Amino acid sequence: PSPASRMTRGAEQKPRGPVHISLLLFGAVRSDLQLAVSLASVRQNLLAPLTHGHSLYKVSIHGSMDCSHPCTLAAVRSAFAGPKLRADTLVVEGGVNSTDSMLRYRRAMAHAARAAAVALRAGAKLAIAARVDVEYASPIHRDLVPPGATLTWQVSQNASASGERRGGGPAWIVVPDFAHFHQLNDRFVYGPMGTVLALFEWRLHNMAADLF
């Protein structure tokens, strides 16, 4: 058979076993109530659709976030230690009491890049990056496949403006059609692990260069 036919058949082969997908929770926790509301929606609308009743995915959770008064570091760590939402890795830092929105945003992007880098080293193939200060009102579709794609990790459309992606693989990103900046949403985004990491690194680089 020709190389082209071999490549076609190879692209149609499905991977063996569950796909490792990492849920990246990042941002800033400002109160115990905000954290409780956000994590309840994460369990119901992000985790449950991916884990209930089937074995398509192996889901890991990597968190990196700030904690500002009146929230306490102990409360955040406790929230991620329960049986329903146990983080594989968790970094919690004291928040900054600043009205500078760009400083807070830059810290959020740094947290997102840190969590993504840890997940990539842990072998995750796909990533869902979600802000920890958002309430998710509807369930994610468990298939996670963009229109026209047969397998998410084989899509080759260049939907990411994040430059060089990390870890190889295709460059695509899926975002909801609301409140996204320059067509790439930092509040909620999913795609191949390396591309998601590249997105947040690109954001940090542009902030350092004062391009935003």
Q: What is the pLDDT of residue 52?
A: 79
Phi, psi of 162 (to 5 degrees): -85, 5
Q: What is the pLDDT of residue 169?
A: 55
Q: Which two tokens stand for residue 1?
A: 């058979």
Q: What is the mean pLDDT of the chain?
A: 76
Q: Residue 6: pLDDT band by 50, 70, 90 thresholds?
A: very low
Collapsing DSSP states into helix, strand and coil, what is residue 152? helix
- Residues 12-40: pLDDT tens digits? 445 567 889 999 999 999 888 999 999 99
Whether 87 contacts 23, CB under 8 Å: no
Tell me the CA distances in angstroms from 135 to 4, 17, 115, one per residue in order: 46, 31, 20
Q: Where are the alpha helices (DSSP H) in 146-192?
A: none
* CA–CA separation, 195 and 175 (whole Å): 13
Phi, psi of 169 (to 5 degrees): 90, 175
Whether 196 contacts 129, CB under 8 Å: yes
**Of 74-78, 136-140, 156-160, highest mean pLDDT:** 74-78
Q: Around Cβ 163, how many Cβ atoms within 10 Å?
A: 12
- Residues 28-71: pLDDT tens digits? 998 889 999 999 999 999 999 888 776 788 999 999 999 987 88
- Per-residue pLDDT for 182 more than 80? no
Instruction: Say which residue, 212 or 174, is predicted with more confidence.
Output: 174
pTM for the whole structure: 0.78
Collapsing DSSP states into helix, strand and coil, what is residue 181? strand
Collapsing DSSP states into helix, strand and coil, what is residue 103? helix
